Amino acid sequence: MNNANQARMFHEDFWSAFDEDVRALGGRKAVAIMLRPDLAHRPHEAHVWLNNCLNPERRERLHDDHIRFVIRKARDANSCAAMNYWCDDCGFERPRAISPKEEVDKILEHAADLARESRAVATQLERLHQSGALKGFPKVATG
């Protein structure tokens, strides 16, 4: 990677860090079309829109959904300049990106925990029902 394309360690402001993430995704024109698929057939117009949003002298601004979208996509492209800027600026440690496999494993583990908890609750309800403590309550189906 040459110096012109090398990721910077620190940025002056959020928007310079954000622009680094935009470059990692193919540049402003490519990102503009991602953010404004309604302008895919008019890429120049999309590009002008994004340039205006990133220009502090202009009234147009990116919505927070657009900013999060770029940060997520940049993570997939191994760029995390904007996220690192926020962490540095707010006094947090820089995060480590979670791989898709780690994310799936975490969700599956959480689902298994919920299933175990649901079975335990169903067992307790069945015990209470059999003891007569739930007299007058309808029997709860336990699967």
Q: Average pLDDT per run of 10 along the chain, which is 143 residues long?
A: 57 94 97 97 97 94 97 94 95 89 93 96 90 78 58
Same domain, 34 and 78: yes
Q: Does 125 share its domain with 107?
A: yes
Whole-number pLDDT of residue 84? 95
| Chain-centroid distance, C-alpha 14 | 17
* CA distance to 96, 113, 135, per residue, from 125 (Å): 42, 18, 12
Lookup: tokens for 118: 């649901």
- The predicted pLDDT at position 142 comes to 56
Number of domains the chain contains: 2
One domain, residues 32 and 67:
yes
Is 135 among the domain residues?
A: yes
Measured distance CA(57)–CA(54) in Å, rounded? 9
Residues 6+ apart with CB under 8 A from 81: 7, 8, 11, 17, 18, 20, 21, 24, 74
Domain containing residue 30: 14-90
Instruction: Indicate the residue among 90, 108, 130 that finishes a domain.
Output: 90
| Number of C-beta neighbours around residue 46 at 10 A | 23
8 A C-beta contact, residue 24 and residue 77:
yes
Task: For residue 5, tell me if it sits in a domain.
Answer: no
Residue ending a domain, choose from 90, 111, 131: 90
Q: Within this chain, do residues 76 and 34 fall inside the same structural domain, yes or no?
A: yes
- Residue 21: which of 78, 98, 62 has the closest Cα? 78
pLDDT value of residue 29:
96
